[in-house]
Amino acid sequence: SKVPPIILNNGVEMPQLGFGVWQVPDDEAEQAVSTALEAGYRSIDTAAIYGNEEGTGKAITSSGVPRSDIFVTTKLWNSDQGYDSTLRAFDTSLEKLGLDYLDLYLIHWPLPSRDGYVDTYKAFEKLLADGRVRAIGVSNFLPEHLERLTGETSVVPAVNQIELHPHLQQHASREFHAEHGIATEAWSPLGQGKGLLEVPAIVAIARKHERTPAQVVLRWHLQLGNVVIPKSVTPSRIKENIDVFDFDLDTEDLAAISALNEDRRIGPDPATFDVG
Ligand code: NAD
């Protein structure tokens, strides 16, 4: 494969770069995921709330790529938190995907005010023990939520998928994850495209390497050790975003991008987000 794996804390291999499908309508997901698989992506990131598990699954099962070569992630939506409801939601997601096991299942948001993530995670531990999923983890968890979770459950999450890009570098979370053997997965790794890819420092580094700004930002993540899941529905960009394994940023480039941190979120604050 084009994409090297990282080894999760339970020994499972996960491609360091995958394809995200947030905001891709179900009837376009099959085409987009098929294009990604043809371009060499072997990891797909969806979620129950994205409403495109069926289209995503169709692309996977009709691709001709062996199931065992594809790493499939989906996420439990907020309204399904709780032990029994989690087990039911998992079955629904697998059925929509048309798969008989999942590679990674994530709790989409911690919803601390509802106090349900520990029970939810205990259902995840059962799914893992039953061999229905190869790794379990969380998304949008702050260090304080991870502290509580690891104190009250037995399986350390393999992954925490959080908003992370040059304007929101998440130093505290990355440090916490490293100390506890949790892989950091960056959502909106390109900062959703807009302003970030026009920042002069990034444009200058792109020119220097004869690459695009998106490739430079992805390369910055990869060299820091983050897992990335860039999204695009444009075939040329889908190809461009995986074509990042034949060049290196130097120390100066990395420092210039690291100087862009503004601790500025695009998405909601996990401490207070309470929707769904
Ligand atoms: P992203 O940072 O991947 O940016 C995607 C956008 O950037 C595209 O829509 C396009 O406008 C632009 N873009 C992509 N490639 C480009 C290129 N080569 N050149 C120029 N512009 C380009 O944003 P995202 O979709 O928000 O995040 C990626 C994935 O992360 C999602 O699809 C989803 O799977 C996941 N995600 C998870 C959560 C969560 O709460 N866990 C939240 C948001 C996203």
Residues 152-191: tens digit of each pLDDT: 999 999 999 999 999 999 999 999 999 999 999 999 999 9
Under CATH, which number does the domain 5-193+220-246 receive?
Answer: 3.20.20.100
Write phi, then psi, for 51 (nearest 5 degrees).
70, 20
pLDDT value for 194: 83
Mean pLDDT of 219-235: 98
- For 196-215, write each residue's pLDDT tens digit: 999 999 999 999 999 999 99
1 has a pLDDT exceeding 80:
no
From 105, 145, 231, 269, mutation site for ligand 1 pocket: most ligand atoms within 8 A of C-beta:
231
Tell me, using a 6 A CB cutoff, whether residue 78 lines ligand 1. no
Give the pTM. 0.99
- Active site (annotated) includes residue 83: no
- Whether the Cβ atoms of residue 184 and residue 222 lie closer than 8 Å to each other: no
Tell me, using a 6 A CB cutoff, whether residue 229 lines ligand 1. yes
- Give the separation between CA 72 and CA 70, rounded to whole angstroms: 6
72 has a pLDDT exceeding 80:
yes
Distance 231 CA to ligand 1 centre (A): 4
Residue 148 pLDDT level (bands cut at 50, 70, 90): very high
Q: Which atom of ligand 1 is nearest to the CA of 213?
A: 19
Mean pLDDT of 15-22: 98
Distance 238 CA to ligand 1 centre (A): 11
pLDDT value for 7: 98
Q: Which atom of ligand 1 is nearest to the CA of 161?
A: 41
The three-state (H, E, C) secondary structure of 155-215, written as one string: CCCCEEEEECECCECCHHHHHHHHHHCCEEEEECCCCCCCHHHHCHHHHHHHHHHCCCHHH
